[in-house]
A = this chain, B = another copy of it.
Amino acid sequence: MKSSIKVVFIGLGGRGRNVMSIMLRMPDVEVVGVCDLRPEMLAKGVALVKERRGVEPVATVDYQELLRRDEVDAVMVTTGWNEHLGLCAEAMLAGKYVATEVGGANSLEQCWDIVRASERSKMPCMMLENCCYGRKEMMVLNMVRQGLFGEIIHAEGGYLHDLRKEIALGYERGHFRHAQNQHRNGDVYPTHALGPIAKCLDINRGNRMMTLTSVSSKGRGLNTWLHEHYGADHEKANYPFAMGDVTTTIITCAHGETIMLTHSTTLPRPYSRRTVIQGTKGIWMEDKKGFYFDGISEKEEQWDSIDKYYPEYEHPLWKSYQDGGKLTETVEGHGGMDYLVQRAFVEAVKNGTPTPIDVYDTAAWMAITCLSEDSVAMGGQPVPIPDFTNGKWMNRRDVAEGPYSLDRIPEK
């Protein structure tokens, strides 16, 4: 086990520097290199490391310069969505552990690319899906593992976030969602909901996603918003954005479970990831902040508050995280989940062990985006979801263990 690790960051926009800022709180992590094509972002990244650690990292516009460095243990891919997968593959082939920020794939080929790169290089690739380490999500996972829900039957989730202003005006400052909304139509951001659900369903560890069907509504949210706020003469007011305002996707799994996902970022509404986990003995519903369990819930057919369940079912990782006092100092990262997902990656790099979200998860979760586009384009036609493990999912044992594990260790 390494006592400390050396990481580099590719991509220093808002999210990249945010991730770096949290990682710079970890005494066993050194940020030895940073890369961005934009000089002002590069300078900001360098300044952040210098301010927090007193030393300057290597700064470059050429990411390959960073990949060539032997002392680098891990590469953090925090660019825009479109560049994630190609950089992941290259970084693994250079012999590095790789972490990538969330996003969706543009093609299945991109997803296979990271699978091949990981299998050839034996290096892991972990999507930093922070919601897998959310407090509520981890408690629910803990309860699923303990059997409270019985057999899991159905799950729901989504990304329902009013981002009209950012998307409508995003082109002025290169916000990647603007281009996505201009040109694509489908669930471009499935992983915040799908990640935690996939873990509850043992996807790629005894189960897998088989098909999906995806349908989009018309898209009127951005145009309406621009008309209201900037008038009919705004240059984007009548732009025919390709993206529908609401995309609904239904995924089927090998063992008969269904997953319903929603993507909606261009209509007014309060934020929600709308998670539902439903089994033969109980249900969790995020929008109700409530559980209902046969024989446990106090009142028949009435929601029990989540607060009743924390004392008994809080995930051990969250318990120790809160006990260790790290919660307050790291609360900037979405209430602690950012810290935990990064810490899970760092621990795997230090120990040379598998990452709890691995290359098969990353590939399968990101593939939902391009498959959703395909299905939407064909009027909701069901499309197959590839088995990126090539059959290994039926009896995989190379899964993560230890306190940060999200995996069920398969029997036998």
Contact = CB atoms under 8 A, between A and B. Distances in A.
A213 B250 contact: yes
A265 interface: no
B245 A248 contact: no
A381 interface: yes
A216 interface: yes
A124 to B, nearest CB: 32
Given A250-B248, A270-B302, A382-B380, A150 B224 contact: yes
Contact of A217 (B224, B257, B287): B257
Contacts of A301: 162, 269-271
Given A217-B258, A287-B288, A268 B250 contact: no
A264 to B, nearest CB: 7
Interface string A213-226: 10111101100110
Interface string A237-279: 0000000111010101001111010101001111100000011
Given A281-B268, A301-B162, A380-B250, A153 B211 contact: no
A273 to B, nearest CB: 14
Nearest to A304: B270
- Determine which residue in A162, A218, A268 has the highest number of CB atoms from chain B within 10 A of its CB, and name it: A268
A294 interface: yes
B280 A292 contact: no
A303 interface: yes
A59 B377 CA distance: 57
Contacts of A292: 268-270
A393 B267 CA distance: 28
Nearest to A283: B269
A293 interface: yes
Given A213-B213, A379-B382, A278 B267 contact: yes
Contacts of A17: none
A246 B154 contact: yes
A33 interface: no
A11 interface: no
Contacts of A246: 153-154, 258, 278
Contacts of A218: 153, 255-257
A398 interface: no
Interface string A117-153: 0000000000000000000000000000000001101
A294 B257 CA distance: 37
Contact of A280 (B151, B267, B282): B267
Given A267-B279, A283-B269, A221 B380 contact: no
27 contacts: A153-B221, A153-B245, A154-B245, A154-B267, A162-B301, A211-B380, A213-B250, A213-B380, A215-B250, A215-B258, A218-B255, A218-B256, A224-B281, A225-B280, A244-B258, A245-B280, A248-B250, A248-B258, A248-B260, A250-B250, A252-B379, A260-B262, A267-B279, A268-B280, A270-B292, A287-B287, A380-B380
Given A267-B283, A271-B301, 18 more contacts: A150-B220, A151-B220, A154-B217, A154-B264, A162-B301, A213-B380, A215-B252, A216-B258, A220-B280, A225-B280, A252-B379, A268-B280, A268-B281, A268-B282, A269-B292, A269-B301, A270-B301, A270-B302
